[in-house]
Amino acid sequence: MVSLQQVRKTYPAPVRGQDPLLAVDTIDLTLADGQFCSLVGPSGCGKTTILNLVGGFEQPSAGRIAASGRSVIGPGPDRAVVFQEAALLPWMTVEANLAFALTLRGGRPAANTERIAQMMEVMGLTGFERHYPYHLSGGMQQRVAIGRALLTNPEVLLMDEPFGALDAQTRSDLQRFLLELWSRLNPTVLFVTHDVEEAILLADRVVVMSPRPGRIVDDIAVNLPRPRTWDAVLNREFGELRRQVLDALRPSDSRARRLS
Amino acid sequence: MGHSWKNRPGPAAEMADVAAAQGLWERTRPGYRQLVPWMVAVTLVLVWAGVAASGIFPKIYVPSPLRVVRDGATLATSGFAGVTLLTDVLASVGRISAGFIAAILVGVPIGFWMATSDIVFAAIDPMLQFLRPIPPLAYIPIMIIWFGIGELSKVILIFFCTIPIIIISAMSGVRGTQETRLRVARCFGATRWQVFRHVILPSALPEIFTGMRVAIGVAWTCLVAAEMIASQSGLGAMIHTAGNEIRTGVVFVGIIFIGLIGYTMELVIRLIEKRVIPWKGKA
């Protein structure tokens, strides 16, 4: 479970004499165990700030954050993170990158070789064990990053626009991979994206944020049947959800439309 | 250093590489590029031989290539002023190696320390920036007064003229570590030592190697100058003595050997670089 209670985050003013910058304001958000939650909002609305707060990379200015039953005070192995760039270590082979978390926890006992091989296979990386990250395409690099995050079965998976830099085909491949892994390992996922379609397609619920200072303006349940495939987007229900999310994203637009 | 731009990351460099790989010359004459340096060298020697043979300048100013080769052979076998070429080369290379390795062993940790601690940075940086613009040659008289004209003064001079470069490259290498890579390590629960060992150190290596390549060139400049002023052995001393006796051929041999050894050292560093950081410029 992940919970944010009355969380605010301010940054020091960029220019002296100005007011401090309020990035996110009074966020209350609770994710049930194993829930897949998408977080959408206009750019600069503080989506990434929320992710960094849950990840423990930044401290909230007010409020409380808890994950896996503990207060968040810093980064921890219970919460794995995947960024927009794969952030692999170029001096390690693909296999070593995948097993990085295990290496940090004291060697790689033989007991884990099977687990690593299995993850390599699930991620479609078999045969690339001895390759280096720069031999791989962007999509494959991101697959390594996702496998690396999930190898140790974290309770929470935080993803910051992980497919934002990929082409449409690769992106849809990776969405499929992610859903498959999620249904197997069932971590709680907080998925930041600016792509409304992606947000709905993947998640159990879509949380919509306002422009800065970021506040939650809508929280939409997605009850589309699983397993989902890409053609779910053609569904009428999907279209309705999309309209709902877009409405929440552009309140001024929708008001204008209603008035006319 | 001529190739270093190629190693820089970024789409521009990649595109340049692709362009080179697809270039017309590359495809039609694959061996051509390897020949170019040799052709340039041969042309230069021919021009030199032509100028020497033309008699425009007295032989004492411009010895012919053949004369220089003969002088080189004499130097190698019976030596000059009682010292053989090999002894001079070994003396110079030994001093460079000692000073340079000492500068790396001391400079890299200092650079790392400065990058990770504001207080250490505040303590060392002003001193470093004050010392850096002073030409190392200005230290030579002090070195001779303090440490005499023996080995120690040269080794210490090399140490002082290369260490600022090493410190700065190590420091900026650490600072250039990608934030997301650090975060990945921290979110997997890496200890401070593990973050350093698995992320920061490898991230800093490419810059340290670039620093080493710059430093080795500076080291030769300083060393030869020091040997010319106060030394009984070494290539600088050989050139100096030969110059006083107007043995131009010997001076040429000395200059050519300084260039060749400097080039060899650069190649050795490049080779080590390829082994240690094959990912350089690719990620």
Structure ipTM = 0.83
pLDDT at A246 over 60: yes
Above pLDDT 90, what percent of chain B?
A: 47
Q: Return residue ranges of chain B for CATH 1.10.3720.10.
A: 65-276
Token pair for residue A231? 């053609």
Query: What is residue B175's predicted lDDT score, i.e. its pLDDT?
Result: 94
The residue-averaged pLDDT of B23-39 equals: 70
Across the interface, which of A83, A103, A133 has its CB nearest the CB of B283? Answer: A133
- According to DSSP, the residues that pair with A4 across neighbouring strands are A29, A65
Q: How confident is the model at residue A260 (pLDDT cuts 50, 70, 90)?
A: very low
Q: How confident is the model at residue A82 (pLDDT cuts 50, 70, 90)?
A: very high
Across the interface, which of A76, A83, A100 has its CB nearest the CB of B180? Answer: A83
Asked if A105's CB is within 8 angstroms of B187's CB, the reply is no
Closest residue in chain B to residue A135, using alpha carbons only: B282
Contact A218/A244 with Cβ under 8 angstroms?
Answer: yes
C-alpha A255/C-alpha B193 separation (Å) is: 56
For the domain made up of B65-276, give the CATH fold. MetI-like fold (1.10.3720)
Dihedral (CA of B184, B190, B191, B196) sign: negative
Query: What is residue B176's predicted lDDT score, i.e. its pLDDT?
Result: 92
Closest residue in chain A to residue B181, using alpha carbons only: A87
Residues of B in contact with A76 (CB under 8 A): 187, 189
Above pLDDT 70, what percent of chain B?
A: 89
Residues of A in contact with B184 (CB under 8 A): 81, 83, 87, 89, 100, 148
Closest residue in chain A to residue B282, using alpha carbons only: A134
C-alpha A47/C-alpha A210 separation (Å) is: 10
Contact A51/A27 with Cβ under 8 angstroms?
Answer: no
- According to DSSP, the residues that pair with A189 across neighbouring strands are A36, A157
Closest residue in chain A to residue B280, using alpha carbons only: A90
Across the interface, which of A57, A89, A148 has its CB nearest the CB of B198? Answer: A89
Asked if A77's CB is within 8 angstroms of B279's CB, the reply is no
The string of DSSP letters for A155-179 reads SEEEEESTTTTS-HHHHHHHHHHHH
Size of the A and B interface in Cβ pairs below 8 Å: 67
Token pair 């009074």 is at which residue? A26
Asked if B181's CB is within 8 angstroms of A87's CB, the reply is yes
Above pLDDT 90, what percent of chain A?
A: 41
- What is the average pLDDT value for chain B, to the nearest integer? 85
Q: How confident is the model at residue A156 (pLDDT cuts 50, 70, 90)?
A: very high
N- to C-terminal Cα separation, chain B: 21
Q: How confident is the model at residue A110 (pLDDT cuts 50, 70, 90)?
A: low
Task: For A2-56, write each residue's pLDDT tens digit.
Answer: 989 998 888 888 788 888 888 888 889 999 999 999 999 888 888 889 999 999 9
Q: Which of A136, A57, A152, A135 is nearest to A100 (CA)?
A: A152
Token pair for residue B23? 């270039």
- Kindly list the residues of chain A whose beta carbon comes within 8 Å of any beta carbon in chain B: 55-57, 74-77, 79-81, 83, 85, 87-91, 100-101, 103-105, 132-134, 148, 152
Helix (H) or strand (E) holding A70: strand A70-71
B55 or A97: whose pLDDT is higher? A97
Query: What is residue A106's predicted lDDT score, i.e. its pLDDT?
Result: 76
Asked if A105's CB is within 8 angstroms of B189's CB, the reply is yes
pLDDT at B75 over 80: yes
Task: For B14-26, write each residue's pLDDT tens digit.
Answer: 444 444 555 555 5
B201 or A259: whose pLDDT is higher? B201
* Nearest chain B Cα distance for residue A158, angstroms: 11
Asked if A134's CB is within 8 angstroms of B279's CB, the reply is yes
pLDDT at A222 over 80: yes
Percent composition of chain A: helix, strand, coil (DSSP 3-state, to 5)? 40, 25, 40
Query: What is residue B99's predicted lDDT score, i.e. its pLDDT?
Result: 94
Residues of B in contact with A80 (CB under 8 A): 187-188
Across the interface, which of A56, A101, A132 has its CB nearest the CB of B279? Answer: A132
Closest residue in chain B to residue A154, using alpha carbons only: B188
C-alpha A2/C-alpha A53 separation (Å) is: 11
* Nearest chain A Cα distance for residue B199, angstroms: 7
Asked if B279's CB is within 8 angstroms of A90's CB, the reply is yes
Q: How confident is the model at residue A226 (pLDDT cuts 50, 70, 90)?
A: confident
Query: What is residue B123's predicted lDDT score, i.e. its pLDDT?
Result: 94
Residues of A in contact with B187 (CB under 8 A): 55-57, 75-77, 79-81
Per-residue H/E/C for chain B: CCCHHHHCCCHHHHHHHHHHHHCHHHHHCCCHHHHHHHHHHHHHHHHHHHHHHHCCCCCCCCCCHHHHHHHHHHHHHCCECCECHHHHHHHHHHHHHHHHHHHHHHHHHHHHHHHHCHHHHHHHHHHHHHHCCCCHHHHHHHHHHHHCCCHHHHHHHHHHHHHHHHHHHHHHHHHCCCHHHHHHHHHCCCCHHHHHHHHHHHHHHHHHHHHHHHHHHHHHHHHHHHHHHCCCCCHHHHHHHHHHCCCHHHHHHHHHHHHHHHHHHHHHHHHHHHHHCCCCCCC
Closest residue in chain B to residue A84, using alpha carbons only: B180
Asked if A104's CB is within 8 angstroms of B185's CB, the reply is yes
Tell me the whole-structure pTM to 2 decimals.
0.79
The residue-averaged pLDDT of A203-217 equals: 90
Q: How confident is the model at residue A253 (pLDDT cuts 50, 70, 90)?
A: low
Query: What is residue B228's predicted lDDT score, i.e. its pLDDT?
Result: 84
Q: Which of A158, A7, A154 is nearest to A84 (CA)?
A: A158
Asked if A81's CB is within 8 angstroms of B183's CB, the reply is yes
Token pair 């080039």 is at which residue? B263
Closest residue in chain B to residue A151, using alpha carbons only: B188
The radius of gyration of chain B from alpha carbons, rounded to an integer in Å, stands at: 23
User: What 3-state DSSP class applies to A62?
Assistant: strand
pLDDT at A252 over 80: no
Asked if B189's CB is within 8 angstroms of A75's CB, the reply is yes
Residues of B in contact with A81 (CB under 8 A): 183-184, 187
Contact B280/B203 with Cβ under 8 angstroms?
Answer: no
Residues of B in contact with A132 (CB under 8 A): 278-279
Length of chain A: 260
